[in-house]
A and B are shown apart, each in its own frame.
Chain A
Amino acid sequence: DTAVSQTPKYLVTQMGNDKSIKCEQNLGHDTMYWYKQDSKKFLKIMFSYNNKELIINETVPNRFSPKSPDKAHLNLHINSLELGDSAVYFCASSPDRNTYEQYFGPGTRLTVT
């Protein structure tokens, strides 16, 4: 069974569209994250959720809205997509905020044309 899964794996869309990426973890973890990896492979945290509560919103445009319907899911909705949003988005989870082990999902490659 996949520990952290993301759908879709690839997403190609046009500027101005709205899209969502879904993340699910079956590890029973309390904390989930979204990271963005740009074309230069720089990885940067976007959001952190603990027990469905937003902990970090790391200067991300408000076109990005995470939603955690339950502890096992953290979805990312993006409005009015821009070319600069093209990147690979990784979901990750950890048992709690103080546990060091983070488990990363396979990534979603978003291409905005």
Chain B
Amino acid sequence: ELKVEQNPLFLSMQEGKNYTIYCNYSTTSDRLYWYRQDPGKSLESLFVLLSNGAVKQEGRLMASLDTKARLSTLHITAAVHDLSATYFCAVDRYSGGGADGLTFGKGTHLIIQP
């Protein structure tokens, strides 16, 4: 069974600090996704990582993928309060005909305090 593990599951940090969220997965997948969810809202796609060594950056967030280690990281630089949210990583589920939906990690609930 495909497993996706995130850590930490809960993170409280101060503005201006740096931190990294880790995502490990159990399948041989070349693709990994990061989503953001605000309370009561839907999922917003942040990054799509499509190959080993992929690195993407958007503002204070940077995501990377190491398919050999089956590990992705989401790094937060100089955190600001607006980044407070729950962050999910996800990988494709594969069956005979193709990718059929996503398996998500349990999410990292991030609180950034002034």
Contacts and interface: CB of A to CB of B under 8 A. Distances in A.
Contacts of A35: 101
Interface in B20-45: 31, 33, 37, 41-43, 45
B69 interface: no
Given A56-B95, A90-B43, A43 B88 contact: yes
A101 B100 CA distance: 12
Interface residues of B, number: 26
Interface string A62-81: 00000000000000000000
Q: Which of B41, B50, B97, B100 has the most CB of A within 10 A?
A: B100
A101 B97 contact: no
Interface string B81-105: 0000010101011010111111110
A35 to B, nearest CB: 8
A102 interface: yes
B64 to A, nearest CB: 17
Contacts, number: 60
B100 A97 contact: yes
Nearest to B33: A100
B95 A105 contact: no
Contacts of B95: 55-56
B48 A55 contact: no
A48 B48 contact: no
Contacts of A50: 97
Contacts of B75: none
Query: Top 4 closest A-B pairs, CB basis?
Result: A97-B98, A45-B101, A43-B104, A98-B98
